[in-house]
Structure 1
Amino acid sequence: MIKKTFISLTMVFFSFLKSQILDEYPEKQDFYEGGLISFYKESHDYLVKNNVKECNAEEIYEPRFIVTKEGTIKLIKDSDTANISKNKCAYDISLMLLKNLKNWKAAQVKGGKFGALTEFIFYPKDVMSNYKEGYNALKFKIAAQYPGGYEKLKKDFHDEFMSLFMDYHINGDINLEFYVDKEGHITNPRIYPQINDRNFNVSFLRTLSRLKKVWKPALYSNIPIKEKIIYPFNFSTTFRER
């Protein structure tokens, strides 16, 4: 299982430093005043107050968005139209919350405010009719798992990518980001900080595609959900994982 604690604060925001947008919130920071418990409580209160109709129990959605340094919201367009269609009610209500809740919180680094990419799990039933004080969706989430576990993942990455690292003589820290979708497949891979070598990037993604093993997808209350994975490397001719 990939642990986000492996990611250094510097590497989290390095690739977006110029635009003031972090790849994710620094460790121990949340996108909402009072943290996730306050976010879900205010979501529940808003939906009850406005008599919003609950979705069916199969629907779940994870909106991805930016909280700007001013504390406003910018939605990231979701290209998975099939998933939106399947979870249209949860999708619509999650966007309603993004539009109407007020206490969004910018990321902070060394006293300065930064915009940051983030997301949340929205399972309407647990935020509405099943809501209990102190609810936090992450407590009900099981992370995606690579076949054979984390050590096997490290070995497979080493075996597949070592020759590529040596061919291009690339040194230094870098992160591979991708999603594991609901079927356990790797989607939307990217590398950051960006390497300005088209041939390397093409070769890297081609090599990644050779890892054809299907992951065990992340689960929320036994419902498969997509999950973002960030895998940090130190690129060098000797190769080591950070």
Structure 2
Amino acid sequence: MSYAQLEVLAGHPRGQSFYVGGINALQKDMIQIVKNKELLPCARTDEKYHVKILINADATIKYVKDFDTVNINKNKCAFDYSRKIIPALKRWIPAREGDKYIGAIAEFEIDPFFLYYSKEDPKDNKSTGPMFKKGIKNFTYEMRKIAEKHAHKNEDKVSFITFCINEEGVMVDFNVEGDYSESEKKNIINDLYKIKDTWEPRIFNGIPVRSTIKQVLRQKFAPELEKDYIDFYKQNL
């Protein structure tokens, strides 16, 4: 029987939790399961998998089919983690409409690094974000120089830069998407790799963690001012 033939909600109504004790209790139970099963973290510290399950009206569960095989293969370790942890979780709560329980989809993230290195109570975890050693103003200046080098007059553009800061604080895996041509994107990435100064990596409970940073690049042509403006702002630091 397909989900379309069942009475199922896309998510729990506002104010209702899908797990006894809420997300913090879910994380605590997952952390304990990892310890009990002696599961090891993934080789990549940033590997994660976003889980969707159907919580039936009787509190039994069923995996929602994930058709994104590319993402599964990219995060295979975290995917396998989910299949080892979820069957051991027992405190699911179905959605409620009036005096009736009803099936609903629940979504949450499996982060093997977090679960392995977390304190028993996640509220006790200590985490710091990545920091450019020369200060974020200097990093913004470096980014602005690169963007201005590739700017063109009479054009409005929106592009996105994604890169990782590895456990050693080095920027790697640059990707540029948006309005630039493929050759322009390659040239921008080459210039980005020329930024030699390093970062303090993200630290989680004393352990360096690989992290991802995204930035948006906006180039706006203002005819009345007869020049281009390029604005940058940081996201997900």
TM-score (norm 1): 0.57
The 1:200–1:60 alpha-carbon spacing in structure 2 relative to 1, beyond 3 Å, is closer
Larger helix percent:
1
Q: CA deviation at 1:206?
A: 1.2
In structure 2, how many angstroms separate the alpha carbons of the residues matched to 1:177 and 1:117?
23
Are residues 1:182 and 2:167 paired? yes
- Residue 145 (structure 2) aligned to one of 159, 162, 178: 159
Identity among equivalent pairs (%): 13
Q: Is the 8 A contact 2:168 2:201 kept in 1?
A: yes
- Residue 85 (structure 2) aligned to one of 97, 113, 134: 97
Deviations, residues 33-86 of structure 1 (Å, cap 9, x unaligned): 6875244123035446xx412659xx984423344698746654459xxxx8xx
- Over the aligned positions, Cα root-mean-square deviation in angstroms equals 4.2
The 1:136–1:188 alpha-carbon spacing in structure 2 relative to 1, beyond 3 Å, is farther
Are residues 1:223 and 2:211 paired? no
- Segments of structure 2 that go 5 or more residues without pairing to the other structure are 1-17, 55-62, 93-106, 221-227
- Segments of structure 1 that go 5 or more residues without pairing to the other structure are 1-31, 85-89, 104-115
Deviations, residues 96-147 of structure 1 (Å, cap 9, x unaligned): 33787697xxxxxxxxxxxx99773425253xxx513xx148x421111112
Mapping for residues 1-242 of structure 1, pairs under 5 Å? 36-47=23-34, 51-53=36-38, 61-67=45-51, 72=64, 75-78=71-74, 93=81, 96-97=84-85, 120=111, 121-126=113-118, 130-132=119-121, 135-136=122-123, 139-166=125-152, 169-172=155-158, 174-192=159-177, 194-195=178-179, 197-236=181-220, 237-242=228-233
The 1:92–1:125 alpha-carbon spacing in structure 2 relative to 1, beyond 3 Å, is farther
Matched pairs, number: 181
Larger strand percent:
2
TM-score (norm 2): 0.58
In structure 1, how many angstroms separate the alpha carbons of the residues matched to 2:81 and 2:74?
15
Q: CA deviation at 1:162?
A: 0.7
In structure 2, how many angstroms separate the alpha carbons of the residues matched to 1:175 and 1:92?
31
Q: Is the 8 A contact 2:166 2:201 kept in 1?
A: yes
In structure 2, how many angstroms separate the alpha carbons of the residues matched to 1:223 and 1:178?
20
Q: Aligned letter for 2:170?
A: H
In structure 2, how many angstroms separate the alpha carbons of the residues matched to 1:136 and 1:217?
21
The 1:227–1:140 alpha-carbon spacing in structure 2 relative to 1, beyond 3 Å, is same
> Is the radius of gyration larger for structure 1 or structure 2?
2
Query: SS in structure 2 opposite 1:148?
Result: coil
Q: Is the 8 A contact 2:45 2:210 kept in 1?
A: no
